[in-house]
Chain A
Amino acid sequence: MSSRTPRASGYFRTGYAQQFALLQTRLETRSLVLFVIALFAFPFFASAFYIDLASQVFLAAIGALALMLLTGYAGQISLGHAGLLCAGAFTTGILAQELHAPFWITVPAATLVGALLGVVFGLPSLRLRGLYLAVSTLALHFVVVYLGGEYESKRGFSTGITLDAPTIGGWTIYGGKVWYFILLAGAALTLWICLNLLRGRTGRAWRAVHAHETVAAALGINVAAQKLLAFVISSALTAMSGALFAYYRGFVSVEAFSLFLSIQYVAMIIIGGMGSLLGAILGAAFVTIFPYAIEAALMRLPDAQSYAGVLFAVNYAAFGVVMILFLLFEPLGLVGVWRRLQTYFLLWPFKHRPLERGRK
């Protein structure tokens, strides 16, 4: 780790320590420090609206990172992500409402429930692949949401469960800025977990399972166990995100966890770029900010108020169009655009690499 060489000029790593290092170059270290400072400074300069937006991005990023682990790395398709979010949110809601459990119990409990559900969601993956697996997770999503709705109607919370502001050691967590930092910490923790999983043995095993199951098994990887592990970790993180979502909103209702939410999460990792953690974060930001951008654009048009009623329909249509455009024309997502930009500047004034090999 003594010499930090620029990545651009070639592959200079000579030891495992260097291979595992997260930051390769001085520029990377500096830009990371600047980025962290910017993240910490942001809530002190931005308005409440932008703080809320950033918090939503962090929440979405946790879920998107979890889904990226599962789909982008382990190669297991899931359309049931909203069901897991729902499970996390409802566990939190039920524990807080019925037992008045504090924050530091409900969130781990939700994570645990998520992990258990991960086993349930993952069991079909032992037998099914591709399309059929996606379908089975889709079906489980409906079952979980149904159970949530059943609880709501049987216990008389027909409009949803309200949650009090959580307290930790006498501190009440309240206000946009405090939540901003909590969700930032949550997202950073998730990113850290993902990074460590992926550069270790587990991550390599997942990539092998993704690439070819038979070969992975021949290499001594327990394919079934690794698949289940991917589902369990991904689901636990997602449920944690759901629990934080419940506290952040102060309100839990099954209506929030429609199939559309699952699709939004899948869209995040597609738009961001499959097989990249940066992609998950970029995608989460894109999909979260997108409806607000559409709204802002619509309000600029003349006669703005008349569009207010159809706003959600415009959102739907525009979201569908964007998703189709990415699938058709940029399957690598935003990360693909970013890498192309990087390559362009690295190689300038040339257009192509001297020897085209698999880009990292």
Chain B
Amino acid sequence: MSDQTATKPALDFTPPRSGLAALQLRDAWHLLPWGIAIAFYFYADGFHSFGTNVLIMVLFTLSLDLALGYAGIITLGHAAFFGIGAYTAGVVAVHMTTDPIAGLILATILAGILGVLTGMLILHTQGVAMFMLTLAIASMFYEVANQWRSVTGGDDGLTVPRSAPLLAYFGFAGFRFDFRGMTGYLYTLSVVFVWFVIAWRIVKSPFGRSLDGIRQNPRRMRAIGTPVWWRLVAMYGISAAMAGTAGGLQAQATRLVGLTSLELQLSGIVAVMLVLGGERRLYGAFLGAVFFMAVQDWAAAVNPVYWMFVIGGLLMAVVLFLEGGLMGLLDKIFGMFAGKRVENAQPSSNEVKAGEVKTGDAK
């Protein structure tokens, strides 16, 4: 419509490529976390179950990063979807099939559907109201699991049979889940990787950017025609589905689903992991979950009574002194090495800086 602007060819600007085509040598650091995860498989004998649990919490934290970090949905009830996934995978294994992938897909889908439905309820609200509603919904899920003993086993929990061999399709014998949990570790790592790639694509997508925009300024997004509520519901559903996968993985790995998977404490812990690692960073979920679980393991061994005190102190230190969590700390460390080069980005002195001018005396 604006003829003199829209038809002029943009000769002086080439938009950056995205996806695999955009990868450069300096992106090689992405190999580091995944390389460590694979090396763990080969060298961490006897720790595979612990590693699997860490990966599950990484995935759960990643799901919260999509909802809380990127979309700004204030939720303290995310364990609801983790628990739904865990119980679904457990019930599927008990009553239908022990094929791990089938159980995981059903756990993901059901958690996603419940995420969309509850999201439609709560995402009209904002701030404290939204926060209360997420708590309320999580409590309701908990009570359903507690009372519906015939399916969930109530407070006794649900014992899950060992999964059938992985990928045992079309006559292929598949990979058996061994007692040391090595197959389980690789299986979990693969699932986490798939979800990570999806999350990576989502946060860079127009969809993800619009949600980042909604977090920063819903009014602006409405003014450009964004259906804010639907967008939030969709992201909440994706996040819930991812949390459901994490729950399903836990049911298959620990072979026991209990009410702890629906507890508010779990919602709190995953939020702590996210803040520790750093919001809106994707890898923050890795750092936060790994660090939290390592410290928890260590602190519980040193003093089984007061370990939460250590965690609480750590969290306070991060929130007070480390903006952006552990990822923020990494930024600062690398920034010190590369610091000299960044300083040329000074604005010229005659420009009026934003914020120095009051936005009018009007109205």
Partners in one complex: no
- Which B residues have a C-beta under 8 Å from some C-beta of A? none
